Amino acid sequence: MTTKDLTRRCSPTPWSCADLKFRKPRTRAEPVQDAPYQTMKPHRLALIGSGHRGIHLLGKMTADPARAELVAVAEPRPERRDECLRAFPLPPEHAYHDHQALLEHAAEVGIDAIVIATMADTHHVVARACIEAGLPIFLEKPITRTFDEALDLVQFAEDSGARVQVGFNMRYMPFCQTLHDIVSSGVLGTILSINWTEAISLRHWTEGYSRNPSYNNTAKVGSWLLEKTCHDLDLFNWLLDTRCQRVASFGSRSFFRPRPDVPKRCTDGCPIIDECLFAYVPEAADMSAYLQPEELDACIYHVDADIVDHQTAIFEFEGGTTISFTLVPLAPEESRSMTFHGTEATLTGSMAAGRIVVDSLRTGEQTVHTISAAHESHHGADEPTTTAFLDYL
């Protein structure tokens, strides 16, 4: 069992949301006003980390060339730099090997703001350097890999008067905004407890995390809970509008452990390949664009991974509300499901189904909310998240 008292080390003002300085996030994704920026020059953005997520974010931000354009990129991998150059009308001389080189040329290039989409183990150093350069930043989640790094970065940003938005995009999901509206309305009464489950699909777990060297080791990501579900932890703070006081967590890598009866590669004559749920199946490989062939073919039991294969955490918030959160792999589909137990009503929700149901304890009336964006990119959150950053600038 792991427990942690969070009351002593938290800063006086909670800042768990999408900003450090951090601007107060919008309660809902407000409509973009056309007039204020139509006569302005587009924001000149730089990207640090041109992996798939970084290129996707910049694609959203630069969709309207009147609002923003990409003018520089920093990426150590030549193939990813080249991919960025193919995706955007970017001069090759503005493609740098690292963030230091990019920042050295920031004034010359005329950079207005930076999007940081590198791995979590680099966030502290890269974000600090960008803040020192006086540039606003969009920092992909999680803020940093460790609690101490996060506290240091927050304090540094606040002392510097920096403008920072963190990529907690679930706040902008139509589903989560509907959930927030219901909770804020008071219709549930006092919320006593919440049960929340995030289920990862079998292929997403095996290829996206357990086989993926970028995400399967705690030295890089801190923990699977931090890397995959910091969105959910942020939502808890937002939905309850209060601070977590205590947390306990249980988890381990109890099933996906080395087996002496199978080889290290699926295609090396594995005796159980025909019956193994986790064997590499080329036609079902969702992550083939992200992993090398030898990584996709790695035996799930022998990969050099130390992230847990299941985890449960319990949280106690100011006011007494408790949350039980479970993170599980190997589901048939990606899903988040939740139950809120209030003194006036019970709420049940399924993000995969785009459905929230509120059952009144007082009248017996049932209210059903249907959210249509359930199958869009990140459940409809990416566009309003990136729009919010441009509005912030």
Looking at the chain, the whole-number percentage of residues with pLDDT higher than 70 is 85
Q: What length does the chain have?
A: 393
Cβ neighbours of residue 178 closer than 8 Å, sequence gap 6 or more: 356, 369, 371
Q: What is the mean pLDDT of the chain?
A: 87
pLDDT in tens, 7-25: 333 333 333 334 444 444 4
Give the domain ranges of the chain: 10-169+382-392, 174-372
> Considering only the top CATH level, what class is 174-372?
alpha beta
The hierarchical CATH code for the domain 10-169+382-392 is: 3.40.50.720
pLDDT in tens, 342-357: 999 999 999 989 999 9
* Cβ atoms 106, 135 nearer than 8 A: yes
Nearest-CA neighbor of 225 among 28, 49, 4, 12?
4
Helix (H) or strand (E) holding 53: helix 52-61
Q: How confident is the model at residue 289 (pLDDT cuts 50, 70, 90)?
A: low
pTM for this entry: 0.85
pLDDT in tens, 122-179: 999 999 999 999 999 999 999 999 999 999 999 999 999 999 999 999 999 999 999 9
What would the two tokens of residue 116 be? 């940081």
31 pLDDT higher than 50: no
